[in-house]
Amino acid sequence: MVKKVPKTKKVGPTRGLGTRYGATVRKRYVKVVTELKRPHKCPNCGFVRVHRESVGVWKCGKCNFTFAGGAYTPATKLGAVARRAAKGLTVEEVTKEAAKASAAAEPATEEKTD
C-alpha cells in the first residue's frame, strides 16, 4: 500500500526564504506578517477592510479613512497609552492603567512584538 505524501510543504509567508535565517526568526516573521496581511477592523466605519498603506499608516478600503497606527498592527498597547496620555491623564494614572491592562491581557509571559 502506498501512502500519499504531499509533494510540497506549506510554509506560509516564509515561502521564498527556504531554509535561511533560522527557524525561530522565520516563525516570528510568520506571526507578524500574518497579522499584518489580515484585514483589520476600521475604527471609523467598523468594516473589516483596513490594510496597511505604509509602515504605520493604515487605510480603510470602505470609507478611505486613513490613520496612524503601529508598524505591523493598526493599534498597539503603547499607542493606547499615548492616546490616554494625550487625553490629559497624569503619568501615574496612565502607567497604573497600562499595568492593569497588560496584566489582564497577558496572563502568560508571552513575548510581544510591537
Q: Which helix (H) or strand (E) holds 24?
A: helix 23-37
Which residue is associated with the grid cell 522565520? 26
Options 11, 17, 25, 45; binder of Zn ion; rule CB under 5 A: 45
- What is the rounded distance in angstroms from the CA atom of residue 72 to the CA atom of residue 55? 7
Nearer to Zn ion, 11 or 45 (CB): 45
Task: Tell me if 63 contacts Zn ion by CB under 5 A.
Answer: yes
Task: Tell me if 65 contacts Zn ion by CB under 5 A.
Answer: yes
Q: Which helix (H) or strand (E) holds 51?
A: strand 50-54
Task: Tell me if 60 contacts Zn ion by CB under 5 A.
Answer: yes
Q: Which helix (H) or strand (E) holds 27?
A: helix 23-37
Options 14, 29, 31, 44; binder of Zn ion; rule CB under 5 A: 44
Summarize as ranges the residues that interact with Zn ion (CB under 5 A).
Answer: 42, 44-45, 60, 62-63, 65
